[in-house]
Amino acid sequence: MRGAYAGPAERGAIARAPLRQPHRSRRRNPLLLALTLPRINEHMLSAVVAAVHPSAGAELAVGAKLVDLTVDLTAIAAQDCPPVSHFRMVVRERACLRELAVAPVNEIAVGTRIALFSTDPHELLDAEPVRELRVAIAGILMQAPAWSGGGR
Amino acid sequence: MSLVPLRLGTLAVAGYDVVRSGVRWLRDEGHACRVGELVAYCNLRLAPTASAPAGAAPFAEEARDFQVGLATRVGGRLHRAHDASRGGFIDRLAEHTVWMPNHVIGHVQCRPSERPAGVDPDGETLELMLVAGRRVTEIAEDRSGFLTGWHDRVRAWWGEGEAPVGTLLGYGICEQLGVFRGESPAFADWFGAVAGPAQVVYVPDNVLVPCAAVVADQCRRTADEAEAIRADVTHSIATGPVVPTPADWMFVSALISALLRSPLTERCDVPMRRGLAQADVPDAVVLSLNAEPPGILRHRRLGYRLQCHAYRMSDAGPAVRSWIERDFEHVARSVADIGCDFRALADRVRERTTTALLVMNTRSTSGFETFHSYAPFDRPLGNMLGSVRAKELNLMLHDLARERNVSIVDNDAIAAELGATHLPDGVHNSATMQAELRREILHILRGRGIAGFAARPSR
């Protein structure tokens, strides 16, 4: 007697099944998506926006640069050598940037909304976002000396 | 049970009286001591006698912060002598008590069978770990504890016999602080692991970051060039467009003082049990790859290189920031440039000395990253992504190890083995990791046959 093992016949059946529906974000069922500042480092309370790359209305491809952030743990770390790190967020799914809530040099708390996105550029913004935009975070190098930029 | 007296033993320097403060205890009455544990310390001073040699006194730059840690050779229960410590300034100033070899500061209660064999069959003579700190400024006085104060160099040395003192220098960024000074009391971890005669020196990165280019400049700078830098800095800040504040002067004084020294080529006086010795230039130095930034400052007219932590610059004062923006250019450095700096430094060191170069590599991964593809990032990736640059730097170090006999202290592998919680931000390490890095450094020194750093006999 056979158990739950899916033998060749079943696998063939699966292979012949109709193609899956496209992901819901690609259907004519637009979604509103939010991006809020995640807790990149467990000790961080906030981050400073170093750069915002796209403008509102931009249609972003996978891999598009979103924002650069500086996380400064000076206030938390009881030491003279504070970890100051720089991060870039890039998008991992296609989306249209609808509203930007931050600008360079803004210091924003963890959980603060950075931007609002939609999968359809014409989607009305009168509903709550259904989820967070999928992003990737990478540590980046400071491109200029901090003191010439006016801060840590 | 027997009571083993804790005697000071000989400490003599020809032409000088060794004068000490009262004893300050590091361990409580009744503490169960381990063999070799530092239990007390006092401040020391060399007071010239009529037969003192002419000229400058020994280690004049460190004379005010010269101390000795006292370690028991016997394990057991500590009993302090009631008159060893009088507290207050009597225990802080080396003024009133001449060092007497037979003076007993207390006893250790142990079984007769626990008395050690060897150099001191009765185990009565305390083992000494001498320490000295060179103050950034003589007004930075802090006698509150063992090797306390604001120093631009601290060191500890110990060991018996007439052999030359092997010297290890830690000259990196803050990741080396705990590795070299260790947990309290300072340098006790090295003292516990190394037989000696050995000296461990640590130069902190309070103001100056010792990247390879800066260290190479320090090694080759002439007295005339140093004077030119000193004069130029003073003139530029005093006559610049921004009126300097006291903070500006204090910062730049500490910075230029550190810049114009050369820890890699300094020799140190080393008072030992039976006289004054001089330690040669370091037998080995540990540098930090984390001291190598993507950009460095170069003076527009005089050409010297300078590097400070960015977070220090925001505290420096407006006139210093203005001076840097006026008088320096920011020079981007690729991994290849940094490799060239290290090669130049290694060649410079080899011309003059046999100092072994050890370099702590850098953690090459980050627990804070979530990316799955390099496609979104500009090329070259090493100029954009910290983790890629770190990998490239570590690879460059392997080339350097082959070409210039540099030893790699594998911070990256140790962090990977211990886990991210021991190096959460890539620089500031846990005590466990610091201990592992010390073991790795000792492993390298012993492999290279550097004298003085053999393991202590098992106790």
**pLDDT tens-digit series, residues A51-60:** 999 999 999 9
Q: Is a pLDDT exceeding 90 seen at residue B435? A: yes
List of residues 6+ apart from B141 with CB closer than 8 A: B64, B135, B149
Contact between B423 and B415 under an 8 Å Cβ cutoff? The reply is yes
Report d(CA B181, CA B84) in Å as an integer. 27
| Alpha-carbon distances, residue A50 vs A68, A87, A151, B379 (angstroms) | 5, 9, 11, 20
- Give the residue numbers in B contacting A (CB under 8 Å), as ranges: 173-174, 206, 294-295, 297, 309-311, 313-314, 316, 321, 324-325, 330, 366, 368-373, 375-377, 383-387, 389, 424-428
A-interface mutation test, from B174, B208, B311, most A Cβ less than 10 A away: B311
pLDDT band at B116 (very low <50, low <70, confident <90, very high): low
Task: Indicate if the pLDDT at residue A5 is higher than 80.
Answer: no
Average pLDDT of the residues in B96-119: 84
* Residue A17 resides in a domain: no
Query: CB under 8 Å to B402, separation ≥6 — which residues?
Result: none
φ, ψ (nearest 5 deg) of residue B76: 155, -165
Q: How far is B440 from chain A (nearest CA, A)?
A: 24
CB contact under 8 A, B376 and A90: yes
A79 located within any domain? yes
User: What is the pLDDT of chain B when averaged over all its residues?
Assistant: 93
Judged by average pLDDT, the poorest of A110-114, A145-149, B267-271, B278-282 is A145-149
At B433 the three-state DSSP class reads helix
Confidence at A77, pLDDT banded by 50, 70, 90 = low
From chain B, the residues in CB contact with A84 under 8 A are 310-311
- Is A136–B370 a contact, with Cβ atoms under 8 angstroms apart? yes
Contact B368 A87 (CB under 8 A): yes
In chain A, what residues touch B393 (CB-CB under 8 Å)?
Answer: none
Average pLDDT, integer, range B117-124: 61
Cβ pair A88:B295 closer than 8 A: no
Measuring CA to CA, which residue among B105, B139, B144, B107 is closest to residue B122? B107
Strand ranges inside chain A, DSSP E: 32-36, 46-52, 59-60, 65-72, 84-91, 95-100, 107-109, 113-118, 131-132, 135-139
Cβ distance of A81 and B428 shorter than 8 Å: yes
Tokens linked to B245 = 């504040």
State how far Cα B64 lies from the chain centre.
Answer: 18
Cβ <8 Å between B369 and A88: no
Q: Tell me, what's the pLDDT at A79?
A: 61
A146–chain B nearest CA distance, Å: 6
What percentage of chain A has pLDDT greater than the value 70?
Answer: 70
Say if A7 falls within a structural domain.
no
Q: How many distinct structural domains can be found in chain A?
A: 1
Share of chain B above pLDDT 70, in %: 98
Considering only CB atoms, B384 lies closest to which of A81, A137, A141, namely A141
pLDDT of residue A125: 84
- The average pLDDT across B352-356 equals 91
Mind telling me how many Å the CA of B89 is from chain A's nearest CA? 30
A40 part of a folded domain:
yes
| Domain membership flag for residue A6 | no
Residue A102 lies in a domain: yes
Decide if B368 and A85 are in contact by the 8 Å CB cutoff. Answer: yes
* A74 interaction partners in chain B (CB closer than 8 Å): 311
Report the alpha-carbon distance of residue A125 to residue A113 in Å, rounded: 15
Which residues of A fall within a CB distance of 8 Å from B321? Answer: 147
Which residue of chain A has the CA closest to B371?
A136
HSE toward the beta carbon, residue B49, CA cutoff 13 A: 10
Look at A65 and B376 and tell me if their CB atoms are within 8 Å: yes
Closest partner residue to A81 among B309, B325, B377, by Cβ? B309
Domain membership of residue A12 (yes or no) is: no
At residue B179, the 3 state secondary structure works out as helix
Which tops the pLDDT comparison, B70 or A23?
Answer: B70
Option in A77, A80, A138 nearest B369 (CB):
A138
Of residues B77 and A151, which shows the higher confidence score?
Answer: B77
Six-digit token string for A115: 């931007």
Q: Does residue B5 carry a pLDDT above 50? A: yes
Chain B positions touching A93 (Cβ under 8 A) are none
Q: Could you give the CA distance from residue B373 to residue A136 in angstroms, rounded to a whole number?
A: 9
Given this model, what pLDDT does residue A143 score?
61
Check A85 against B425: CB less than 8 A apart.
yes
Q: Is the pLDDT of residue A72 over 70?
A: yes
Tell me how close the Cα of A124 comes to any Cα of chain B, in angstroms: 29
Sequence-distant (≥ 6) Cβ neighbours of residue A43 within 8 angstroms? A73, A76, A77
A65, A74, A83 ranked by CB distance to B425: nearest? A83
Tens-digit pLDDT profile for residues B61-105: 999 999 999 999 989 999 999 999 999 999 999 988 999 999 999
| pLDDT mean across residues, chain A | 78
The candidate with the shortest Cα–Cα distance to B152, out of B194, B190, B201, is: B201
Q: Is the pLDDT of residue A10 over 70?
A: no
Inspect the interface and report whether the beta carbons of B376 and A137 lie closer than 8 Å: no
The answer to whether residue A81 scores a pLDDT higher than 50 is yes
Is the predicted pLDDT of residue A18 greater than 50, yes or no?
no
* Cross-chain Cβ contact B297/A79 below 8 Å: no
CA dist B77 to B39, B48, B102, B380, B410, Å? 11, 38, 21, 63, 40
Question: In chain A, which residue's Cα lies nearest the Cα of B329?
Answer: A145
Q: In this predicted model, what pLDDT tens digit does every residue of B401-421 receive, in sequence order?
A: 999 999 999 999 999 999 988
8 Å CB contact of A152 and B310: yes
Q: Residue A63: its chain B contacts at CB < 8 A?
A: 373, 375-376
CATH number at residue A55: 2.40.50.100
Give the gap in angstroms from C-alpha B321 to the nearest C-alpha of chain A.
7
Q: Which of B152, B140, B154, B207 is nearest to B185 (CA)?
A: B154
pLDDT of residue A4: 44
pLDDT(B447) > 90: yes
Evaluate if residue B312 carries a pLDDT over 70: yes
Residue B56 binned pLDDT confidence (cut-offs 50, 70, 90): confident
**Residue A90 belongs to domain spanning:** 23-143
Closest Cα partner for B253 from B203, B323, B310, B198?
A: B323
Residue B375 has pLDDT above 90, yes or no: no
pLDDT higher than threshold 50 for residue A2? no
CA dihedral B130, B134, B135, B136 (to 10 degrees): -150
- Structure confidence at residue B281 (pLDDT): 95
Question: pLDDT band at residue B244, thresholds of 50, 70 and 90?
Answer: very high
Say how many CB pairs under 8 Å bridge A and B: 97
